Structure 1
Amino acid sequence: MPLTSGPRRRIAIFGTFDVENYGDLLFPLVAGQCLGRFGVDVVPVSPTSDRVCYTDAIPPLSLAEFARTASGFDGVLIGGGNIIHVRDFGLPAYDAIAYPMLWAGATAHAVRHAIPVMWNAPGVLPLRDPGTPPGWLTRVAQAADHFTVRDTHSAHVMGQWSGRRPDVMPDSVLDLARLWPRDMMLDRCRALRDDMGIGKDTPVIALHVKRRSLGTMDVAAFSAALALALEDAGAVAILLAIGRCHDDHTLVREIHAAAGARTVPFEDADALQDIAAVIAGSDAYVGASLHGHITAAAYGTPARVVTVPALHKFIGQAQLMDRADELVPDWATALTDFRTVLSEPLRPLPAEVGTRLSRHWSAAAALVQNGAAPNKAMIFGDAPIEDALRRAVQDQTTPPRPSRRSGRATNDTRKTRRSGMTQDTLTDWDSAKINGLISSGEHDSATTQIDAVLEQRPSFLPARLAQIRLRMAAGDRAEASEMSLELADEVPDNPWVWLLAMQAHAATGDVETAKAIFDDGFDRLSPPDQVLSAALSALLPVLGGTKEQIAFLQEALKTRPDDQTLQIRLATRAHLAGDVKLSLDMLTKAEAQGPLPAFAQRVRTQLLPHLTSMDEAADELARQVDAGGEDAETLCRLCRYAAAAGRFEQSQTALLRALDLHPLEWRPLYRLNRIFLPAAQDAEIFAKLDTLRLEADTDRNWRLQFAFFALRVGETAIAQDVLQTLSDDPVVGPTARDLLAAVKATGEPHPRPEVIADGDVRVVRKNGAQGTIVVFGNFLGGISYVPDRYLDNLLADLPANVIYMRDPHGRVYLNGIPQLGPDEAAMQQALRDRLADLGGGRVVTMGSSASGYAALRAGLAIGADAVISLAGLITPGRGDEQDPLHNRMGMEELFGRDPEAMDLRPALAAKKATHLTLVIGAEYEPDIGRSRVAKDLDNATVHLMPGVTTHHSAIPAIADGTLVQLLTAALDPSPTSAESKTAGSKSAGSKSAKTKTAKTPRGTKNRRSSKRRKS
């Protein structure tokens, strides 16, 4: 049923739908499916009305037929495909202006009939230096009501050529699964495999080879290498003819005849849907087709794409799909990757892709329903459109005069050099083989082959570039630098030569020369995104630290303020430095240029709480999930944001979905440890995870998070076994060893019934209590990584009532606890009431890390006698100028844009009756630095744990008895204060705060473990 009421509308979609090319033929089908639900029918229009061999392709109208019937359409949709150019490829069935008629001519007709013009993200082929945009082209660009292209390079070229830069959006074929759902494709692929005689357990690669992608490798050599690669991988390749118009079907037959039994030819597919099904249902796609890669991405199939030639369309789409790592430089690399790609898991599209495509179709449908913008300028006045466009194209393609600069290239040769194409490319040069020799260290063989080519063709550019790369690989970096400068002087306008010269000097550490080379070519050459990205990757690391890199990028942006690649690099560097404002500013500007690549979108999502409220941040994440973004990171972030916003049901739903979809990833377990569920649900989840632990191959991060969860549910033996296996790990080993010691010190847990009851506030009364301990559980509940059930083994022996609390928002109790009231003030009042009901006595609040701040904040509000903060904060702002800037990022999210406003020093100084003991590692400089803010406070003691080198001072304080000692002193009602019992000598440079270095107490084993009851 259409999503809109009223009469159905009819639009024309323009492209090369009269040629047997899989990708082009999908555009009308996908557009028809996605716009049909809005009540819009789609009619394809092409230079001719020729039919193709595929039964499910829609026959097009010819351009001439459209011109006669244009008044019967309600809109024009241009693209996709690489059709935005004015070239004549000499195709027999195509007029010299066939391609410009598909976009400029279509626009001219639309303006004359006052119907909207929408661009369906076509590609733009580069032109020679365009100069001032001609009037007709400016009017074409301005007439677009919805102006999109499929990559940033196309947007840059169109902006320079026409004067108006279009938006960037993913190729619309990425919505292929809306047309043919994945389950349907998998069923169809199984049927095709049965027909082909391929066993259900045989690994299958959907393979597409384009003849030009082989470079100089002949078919026989390629087929032999393919047969060996398939044999090694134990796989079968289904050979696809994606571009019959490029003679792919003939090549399929040649390869099958030469490669033998492990290849299955599928050059005679009857339907486009069959080609899509093979890609969707295979274990991997390997090929040289952009729309082969796009189809793989649409269905989650792992892929490798051979980028020969290295066209901007490959990298542009790969970045938008978060699959740039799947691009390989040649077939030699692709073949060696067979085993790897076959072992990779399904790879869903980033949620942002689905969101952008949905917006695209909605915008197009709204324009069709509402009509075009009024009063557009006629493209060619009243002149016949075809004649006027023919003259305009002739003017645009007239060769320029030779350059006046002596010895410099003309525009035509400059364009030739940029593409790497000269007459010298007609050679037996095998770039893949040479690169393989260099990378594998076979430098003598590489030298012999490069020298042989250069002896015959001294100016052959690929060989000269390889010669420099060889010198760099061999360690002759100084010589490589000199050679690169010589080549740059000879070929000054080739961006790849510019890149190599800069890389060579960066590799030698000659930073100033590398920067000078960058500056010279950066604005002059306008290098494409792929080259600029490689240049930045080489240059930024040698500039120094993050601060220096940020300064460099800011300076570069003064030259090209709208360059998305620079904006994104600066945003990510600012994010690493903790400069939230700069990072957000750059991401906002970059997003205005076009869709953010997935890695930049992830940074933006991380910064959402700095940009908006937690409610709105959760809403945006929910939209991403609804659009199909169910990767572990997105679901876990939705879980966190929803909890912070108090939307606990949504938070738990996202968590359970993440655990269900991604059980072997560590992030869902990390989030599980920070979301509090009923005990019965914890037990059910643990049983499933424990099965995975025993049966699946899990990494150390997963096992560490599993051990934390095992402790939460009381499975001590299992937790200890897992921690023991991690104890020698160089990364997580220290945490595992400390936690093992803490668990050993507390003993097998025998918690009192109230402790393990469901609820965020649990009160345990003690007969003869001298006071009450209020435990502000941290993000995991409990103290550090030690859950309440283990902590209770220690606290149950003390003469105190205990109030165990945990924060379901994960906001260090700043939102309060729903069980105690709607906000922090209500929580504090409820605590006062509970304490009064418990009979008075001394009050001690306690917490670790960020919850140590909560314990101090609440302790001051309720008039606690003592606060024990284990590596907690006194102020979330920087207490010392040496404190790293990036430490502020988490503080800003929790405490707002002005963390200094949350400084507790004034309140602590004013409440002399409350004494703070801050327990930190004696060897952990960040916490030592933060503790210096207490130096002027008479009622604060800094307690140093000797030998502790991490932030988690709570674990060794539990293990060696320090925590019990401090609590015992704090609860003592005698006139001798806890302060005097724990105070030691002042730290160097301190005025008032006392510093005590702990000695390990004797007899710290759990005295009650032998006589405790089990509950």
Structure 2
Amino acid sequence: MVDLGLQSVDPRAAESPPKTCGIQAEEDLAEHLDERTWQVAIFGTFDVENYGDLLFPIIAEAELARRLGSVNLQRFSYHGKTPSEWPYAVTSLTELPAVAAGLDGVLIGGGFLIRFDKVVAHGYGPTTADIHHPTGYWLTPALIALQHAVPVMWNAPGMHCNSIPDWARPLLTMALEQSRYVRVRDALSRDTLGALSQQIEIEVLPDTAFGLPRLIDEQRPSAEFVRLREHAGLTGPYIVIHAIHVVESFVKLFEDHPEAFLGYQFLVVPIGPVLGDDPSVIAGRLPGSITLPFWPKPLLMAEILSQAQAVIGHSYHLAITALAFGVPVFCSADLTTGKYTALAGFDTLHALPNVATIDPQWFLARVGKTQPSPLARAAADQLVEHWDRVAEIIRQGKTASQPVLGAFLQHLPNLLEAAAETCDPVQVESPVSPVIPVPQINEPAQDLAARELAQQQRIIQLREQLARSDARMRELQNSNSFRMTAPLRSIARGIRNLTANKDRQC
């Protein structure tokens, strides 16, 4: 059997310093590399099968090693993982309290991390009720690090069409105000978080995945990628299709005009299996399309995308990876909403057209790998400065956050007591089930039977999803942690009452 695995970090990227000009630059870099091993932690959902989530630690480890030398990057998520089963080791968050004091720095994110909803992914949650979901994998770690004076840096996480509940505002404000460095990946996230306090300095930073070309050498394909092409029969120019139903209009295009695409192979891949991606949704409708017998690990997936002639799909990081390597993107997401607004300015990213108007020539005129756009190159340059700054903050050592955090904890019982006295028991104990957005249906108007069938399938899918969500809500409502943290969900009510009384007195 041929091994089609991959490295978790490209050795060429992790071991080689950035390209420099002249002997003096080499000496300057060497002076910055310390013989010690730096202890750095990164927090996120690195324990799920989702391409974008798994990228962040790989990029962080490679970039910090370039600047700091020996780095022990500990990846924290709900569930522990071992390299024998996963691209890299992941440490359970249950171990964080025991090791936090020995850390030199903490990275929060990136990805869609700043969120408060319970349904992050089907069945996904902490291993113990003592850890709050979902702030346990991003907000609580920041507070724990600040408690130990460990510098906290926000590694371009973001929000996506969500808000900050009242109970979380004091905690999140404290975490952001005391962090050494706060960067988010889009202007909407910056504005929402910036409204919490005038003391928070937040800037927009491109998603760190725009830095992937520093880890992957397009001119020297990896052995894993060469083997994959050989065994999958991927011999010619290919187009990657995200294995998700919302790319329906392109599948219909390929079905209706097969002769126009004879020069291309179609590779159907799941980008986020944890979110329900499944090649069977599409592959059966495209004769000759290629699927893989395994889910590629992150850098191999990135290399697959980097060598495509086009990518089609909904995934945020599928789009970013393609843009970073000059591959055109055909995206089904709404580029005017949430996190996708950060990608709207790229001229090689094309919104998914309506199936009734899409034309083979329109598509073929936009296919073809080129050089990354000026905007993509500028994003990569910003990330070089970002990692320089992160490395410098880690070198500077401990922060002065402990006294402020101590004062906040001293005041916390007042907030809890005020919230408990003013909270509405019905509101606290009966959270509303999340509203599941109905996906847009791009079906041919003239094909009524096909449209009705598709609508029935969507209805069934939404009913199943709603049933899972309601079951998860009932489980959470009955948990000890939900009842114990009820006062926290109303902290801001007490703050508003105190503020209102003070305003009336003035």
TM-score for the superposition, normalised by structure 1: 0.36
2:394 corresponds to: 368
| 2:240 paired residue among 206, 210, 221 | 206
State the Cα distance separating 1:335 from its structure 2 match: 8.0
1:232 corresponds to: 260
State the Cα distance separating 1:205 from its structure 2 match: 0.2
State the Cα distance separating 1:23 from its structure 2 match: 0.9
How far apart in 1 are the matches of 2:209 and 2:309?
21
Give the SS at the match of 1:341: coil
1:179 corresponds to: 215
2:202 corresponds to: 166
1:734 corresponds to: none
1:306–1:334: 8 Å Cα contact kept in structure 2? Answer: no
How far apart in 2 are the matches of 1:397 and 1:31?
44
State the Cα distance separating 1:276 from its structure 2 match: 1.5
Give the SS at the match of 1:85: coil
**Counterparts of 1:295-334 in structure 2 under 5 Å?**
295-307=321-333, 311-319=337-345, 322-323=346-347, 325-328=349-352
Identity among equivalent positions (%) equals 25
1:72 corresponds to: 102
2:324–2:372: 8 Å Cα contact kept in structure 1? Answer: no
1:519 corresponds to: none
How far apart in 2 are the matches of 1:84 and 1:113?
22
Q: 1:52 to 1:238 in 2, by over 3 A?
A: farther
The residue identity in structure 2 corresponding to 1:260 is P
The residue identity in structure 2 corresponding to 1:154 is S
- Is 1:49–2:72 an aligned residue pair? no
How far apart in 1 are the matches of 2:255 and 2:424?
46
1:85 corresponds to: 115
State the Cα distance separating 1:258 from its structure 2 match: 3.2
2:367 corresponds to: 342
How far apart in 2 are the matches of 1:5 and 1:348?
33
Q: 1:30 to 1:131 in 2, by over 3 A?
A: same
- Is 1:14–2:33 an aligned residue pair? no
1:119 corresponds to: 154
Q: 1:280 to 1:152 in 2, by over 3 A?
A: same
How far apart in 1 are the matches of 2:182 and 2:60?
16
Q: 1:128 to 1:169 in 2, by over 3 A?
A: closer
- Gaps of at least 5 residues in structure 1 are 402-411, 454-1015
State the Cα distance separating 1:140 from its structure 2 match: 1.0
1:463 corresponds to: none
1:26 corresponds to: 55
How far apart in 1 are the matches of 2:168 and 2:210?
32
How far apart in 1 are the matches of 2:348 and 2:423?
35
State the Cα distance separating 1:360 from its structure 2 match: 0.6
State the Cα distance separating 1:209 from its structure 2 match: 2.9
How far apart in 2 are the matches of 1:341 and 1:157?
36
Give the SS at the match of 1:432: coil
2:116–2:164: 8 Å Cα contact kept in structure 1? Answer: no
Give the SS at the match of 1:48: coil
How far apart in 2 are the matches of 1:396 and 1:380?
24
2:487 corresponds to: none
1:240–1:266: 8 Å Cα contact kept in structure 2? Answer: yes
How far apart in 2 are the matches of 1:187 and 1:323?
32
Output one character per residue of 1:567-616: Cα deviation in whole Å (capped at 9) or x when no partner. xxxxxxxxxxxxxxxxxxxxxxxxxxxxxxxxxxxxxxxxxxxxxxxxxx
State the Cα distance separating 1:119 from its structure 2 match: 0.6
State the Cα distance separating 1:137 from its structure 2 match: 2.2
Q: 1:8 to 1:328 in 2, by over 3 A?
A: same
How far apart in 2 are the matches of 1:396 and 1:178?
51
| 1:97 paired residue among 125, 132, 135 | 132
Q: 1:362 to 1:239 in 2, by over 3 A?
A: same
2:155–2:184: 8 Å Cα contact kept in structure 1? Answer: yes
Q: 1:20 to 1:166 in 2, by over 3 A?
A: same
Give the SS at the match of 1:38: helix
State the Cα distance separating 1:193 from its structure 2 match: 2.6
* Count of aligned pairs: 402
How far apart in 2 are the matches of 1:304 and 1:53?
35
1:29–1:179: 8 Å Cα contact kept in structure 2? Answer: no
The residue identity in structure 2 corresponding to 1:13 is I
Q: 1:270 to 1:129 in 2, by over 3 A?
A: closer
How far apart in 2 are the matches of 1:346 and 1:67?
46
How far apart in 2 are the matches of 1:59 and 1:352?
32
State the Cα distance separating 1:310 from its structure 2 match: 6.6
The structure showing larger relative contact order (alpha-carbon pairs under 8 Å, at least 6 residues apart) is 2
2:104–2:398: 8 Å Cα contact kept in structure 1? Answer: no
Output one character per residue of 1:810-851: Cα deviation in whole Å (capped at 9) or x when no partner. xxxxxxxxxxxxxxxxxxxxxxxxxxxxxxxxxxxxxxxxxx
Give the SS at the match of 2:220: helix
The residue identity in structure 1 corresponding to 2:45 is T
Greater helix share, 1 or 2? 1
State the Cα distance separating 1:367 from its structure 2 match: 0.6
1:652 corresponds to: none
1:315–1:324: 8 Å Cα contact kept in structure 2? Answer: no
Give the SS at the match of 2:67: coil
| 2:185 paired residue among 135, 150, 164 | 150
| 1:357 paired residue among 380, 383, 390 | 383
State the Cα distance separating 1:152 from its structure 2 match: 0.7
State the Cα distance separating 1:324 from its structure 2 match: 6.8
Q: 1:227 to 1:430 in 2, by over 3 A?
A: same
**Counterparts of 1:523-538 in structure 2 under 5 Å?**
none
Q: 1:225 to 1:366 in 2, by over 3 A?
A: same
The residue identity in structure 2 corresponding to 1:207 is I
Give the SS at the match of 1:111: helix
1:173–1:295: 8 Å Cα contact kept in structure 2? Answer: yes
How far apart in 2 are the matches of 1:54 and 1:330?
41
Q: 1:59 to 1:141 in 2, by over 3 A?
A: same
State the Cα distance separating 1:10 from its structure 2 match: 1.4
How far apart in 1 are the matches of 2:235 and 2:123?
44
Give the SS at the match of 2:181: coil
1:257 corresponds to: 284
State the Cα distance separating 1:195 from its structure 2 match: 2.3
The residue identity in structure 2 corresponding to 1:83 is L
